[in-house]
Amino acid sequence: MGFFFIVLVNINNISESVKENFDTIEVQLLDETDRAAAEVMMANFRDTDGVLSVVFRTKDENLENWKEQWGDNADILDRLRANPVPNSIVIETRELEDADAVVAKAKQMEGIDRISYAQDAVDKLIRITGFIRMGALILIGVLLIISVVVVSNTVKLTVLAREREITIMKYIGATNWFIRGPFLLEGIIIGLIAAVISGGLIAGVYHYIVQSFGVDVLLIVSVGFVSEGHLLTNLAVIFLALGVSIGACGSIISMRRFLDT
């Protein structure tokens, strides 16, 4: 469940980042295009229907944005002898259809090096992330059921071994909760141990993945992995809660044969 959880969280992070830039077009300018020519372009973009904002970004500002996105890996950019990032014009539109009109107008202008706008790629990425998200949720649900069954069967072995003791305790008037208590505690302890072991393993594996592939993923999708501290802290809380809940549920299910529940 933990592995599928970190996949789900990072897929959501990528999907949300893509959606934030879904209606944004970046027009990268040639080095010889001066600010005056850029202002003329910006005025033409502002006259296009559906345009919400038009902002000029210098190459230094674009480099700083890259450094913010790269986070801990930004030291790679500090080693550059010169700034390779061009000046650009960033246009935000109201709808995707409006972005198409802006791109069409930009293609007719001179002084432009590249237009960063990938509608088809974004659509495919969102569909793929949706399928992955749904698959991960289904698998987490299946594994959750399996976990309850495993804990239930584990506790049931202990219950069967003490069947005579439980029967005697019921004959002398012990309440259901008095009998159930030790087994419930055993299930909770099993769940907590599982949460600690699995949480430690996932923390180590996730740290290795982030250190080994973090930069590559950032270069491919311009979005890094979710930070280790944030993800693992939340994962620890979820694991402890699930461990206690699954252990308790498994114990209660295993006792139903002997107690009126």
Cα torsion 226, 230, 232, 234: sign: negative
How many structural domains comprise the chain? 2
The answer to whether residues 91 and 128 belong to one domain is no
Residue 73 has what pLDDT? 61
The share of the chain scoring above pLDDT 70, in percent, equals 80
Last residue of a domain, one of 60, 86, 117: 117
The answer to whether residues 168 and 241 belong to one domain is yes
Tokens, residue 129: 């992330």
Mean per-residue pLDDT, 209-231 = 68
> In this model, does residue 33 exceed pLDDT 70?
yes
**Residue 27 counted as domain residue:** yes
**Residue 14 counted as domain residue:** no
Question: Cα separation of 223 and 10, whole Å?
Answer: 9
The answer to whether residues 231 and 138 belong to one domain is yes
The answer to whether residues 208 and 156 belong to one domain is yes
Mean per-residue pLDDT, 211-231 = 67
**Residue 6 counted as domain residue:** no
> In this model, does residue 261 exceed pLDDT 50?
no
> What is the per-residue pLDDT across 225-258, written as a single tens digit (0 to 9) for each?
777 787 888 888 888 888 888 877 777 777 776 6
Mean per-residue pLDDT, 139-153 = 82
> In this model, does residue 219 exceed pLDDT 60?
no
> What is the per-residue pLDDT across 169-186, written as a single tens digit (0 to 9) for each?
888 888 877 877 887 888
**Residue 13 counted as domain residue:** no
Mean per-residue pLDDT, 60-72 = 71
**Residue 166 counted as domain residue:** yes
More confident of the two residues 236 and 216: 236
The answer to whether residues 188 and 220 belong to one domain is yes
Mean per-residue pLDDT, 12-28 = 72
Average pLDDT, the chain: 78
Residue 18 has what pLDDT? 64
**Residue 167 counted as domain residue:** yes
Residue 71 has what pLDDT? 63
Neighbours of 120 (CB within 10 A): 7
**How many H helices and E strands in the chain?**
9, 4
Task: Scan for tokens 């219950």, then name that residue.
Answer: 159
More confident of the two residues 111 and 228: 111
Mean per-residue pLDDT, 126-155 = 81
Cα torsion 127, 131, 136, 141: sign: positive
Distances (CA, A) of 152 to 135, 176, 185, 186, 260: 26, 18, 13, 11, 17
The answer to whether residues 190 and 109 belong to one domain is no
Q: Are 27 and 88 in contact (CB under 8 A)?
A: yes
The answer to whether residues 69 and 108 belong to one domain is yes
The answer to whether residues 249 and 153 belong to one domain is yes
Report the range of poorest mean pLDDT among 51-55, 95-99, 144-148.
Answer: 95-99
**Residue 1 counted as domain residue:** no
Last residue of a domain, one of 96, 117, 138: 117
**Residue 2 counted as domain residue:** no
CATH number of the domain to which 51 belongs: 3.30.70.3040
Rg of the chain in Å (alpha carbons): 28
Last residue of a domain, one of 61, 95, 117: 117
- Three-state SS across 186-214? HHHHHHHHHHHHHHHHHHHHHHHHHHHHH
The answer to whether residues 113 and 126 belong to one domain is no
The answer to whether residues 208 and 90 belong to one domain is no
> What is the per-residue pLDDT across 67-102, written as a single tens digit (0 to 9) for each?
676 666 656 666 666 677 788 888 888 776 677 788
The answer to whether residues 31 and 97 belong to one domain is yes
Domain that holds residue 234: 122-255
Question: Cα separation of 92 and 51, whole Å?
Answer: 6
The answer to whether residues 199 and 95 belong to one domain is no
Most confident stretch, 54-58, 162-166, 226-230, 248-252? 54-58
